Chain A
Amino acid sequence: MKNIEREQINKVIGDVFMQFPFMFAEPIERDEIEEVVGPIYRAIMVFHGDFSGKIEILLPKEVGVELTKNLLSDEFDEQVVPEREVVDSIKELANVICGHSLTTLFGEERIFNVDPPIVSNVTQKEWLDSLVSDDAFYFLVDDTPMFLEFKHCNEGV
């Protein structure tokens, strides 16, 4: 991935978190990532069009819970946030990130078809294994690490 693309993606993520759930996402280096405790989620979004590819996001449940609370304010102030709501929030976040990344990288004249996001749980080992990719981006979202990988190729599918 080119440096200019990296800068664009970093900006998209920062803007999306700021405008959407009002959270602060700051790009960090791989070696700044600390161990994560608790469950981890993975969201995958596949897109097709003039360019095709996928966006993969890995984030600890902690970020998902915070995200849900911010999106639905008042609803879960003092209560435990149900799993289903957390998964739906992560899907919505992935949708927004994907939509904005595509126009930022490829312009507003292209049409992409995006499959619905798929959210699943990953193990600590999968989390650590994914941290070696060269296409990866790392962020601290309100002090919790998040990982994003953006892969695309020029052939339409």
Chain B
Amino acid sequence: MPVDPKIIEALESIVGPEYVTTDEVILASYVSKGIMGLEAQRADIVVRPKYVEEVRRILMLANEHKIPVTPVAGGLSGGYACPTVKPGGILLDLSRMNRILEVDTDARYVVVEPGVRCGQIWRFFRDNYPEWAPPIPDGAPPAATVLGDALERGFSLVTSKYGPQADLVLGLEVVLPTGDILRTGSWALPGAKPFYRWGLGPDFTGLFLGSQGTLGVVTKMAIKIVPHPEHKDIVALAFEDPETMQKVTLRILKKEVGVMVQGGNWWLVPTRMDHESKLPHDYEFWKKRGVPKYFMNFEIWGITKEHLELEKKIIDEEVKAAKSKGEVVDYWKLHPRQVASRLKKPNKIAIPYAKWRGAFLFITWYLPWKGLAEFMKICEQKMEEYGFAPVIWVASIEHGRECIGMPIVCFNNRDPDDIQRVIEFNRETTEIFLDKGWINYRPDAKIHAPAMYSRAQGYYYWLKKIKQLFDPNGIMHPGRLCL
């Protein structure tokens, strides 16, 4: 939709003409579909601010003229940072705000702007604070941002120990559509450091985590950093069935072992290797190559060698105990290269699933750990029914308090029938999973959000009220939350 030249002029006067564009080719280049969702619209104008004050003035202008705004940090959420509905309005590309503002190794946090990418912060910490790790997402590519991922409540390289990314957030600075700047946590007290999440009374931080940019623009985030010891290893366990995997893993997790504990079924291996026409689809082939039917990788970190060995010993004791009960579990002996590849952070591990059929969708659910086997079975059955390779990834959150489970739906994005099958698979499993009380993390606009909120209408009512409070003119994009 053509943008009023006066608006363009006003935006140019805020950020400079070189950082505003309505060039249709550039607008097209920002579109992204797949990975998390299938819907995305082209924006009408892209603006690239550098400073908080610029963000504030842009939002005030948009608020005055009721122009929709979609914030994008790294833009790696597969289109969640693109407008959902038309008119596309302003795409607020925050990639120029890429400063690492503060590192406090005593209170153990880092303050970042929205554009700080995982590759950038990893480099920065390796160079300057090698004993500390910033909480980058575990499997997201290095161009993802720390702030965007934490806003999404993602899973980091230490999520199995510390909980979802959101749990590590200590405070936010948010520019609201009205132009007000809100600081949360202890940061809300002028002059205070962002050392304490729960701040000055009821905590606002959580409202923005998972809000998909629907309430305001986060311009700074204080997030915990964690010790980054030298001693690391991967212990991989092999199972014949998901029930045993669920039980044995939980016993180990209850001993609080592992920083990232994740696994799934054997389909995770071939589907990232090559096109489906080029590789065998039967398990026997992969079994001969040493791939277990089900597996769980325990990434363990030790402050000392002895500490690392102790963690391994705890796992070993549980493995022995399980075997003595007749449970089928074994070690999956990994090649040193496989270990190294699993230890790599940030990594590219999850990128190549597009090779199998051309595209993929991560449909992610949170559930109690005890639902893991059932979740996997339902996914396997339904994915096969709909004609997809049943690729399933699971991980532990905070030592198995919860499980994050994810069918990776590899599909052909050039085939409308295949796309339709993805939608139907998603719709059917969403109803099944919601019936079981499991929750979609990164709900999408057409399936998850309507299904979820129609069951939790009271919650949705209050979310709408809060949206009205923060964003009275409704300029922030509705995200995939339909807000």
Q: Is the pairing of A and B real?
A: no
A residues with a Cβ closer than 8 A to B are none
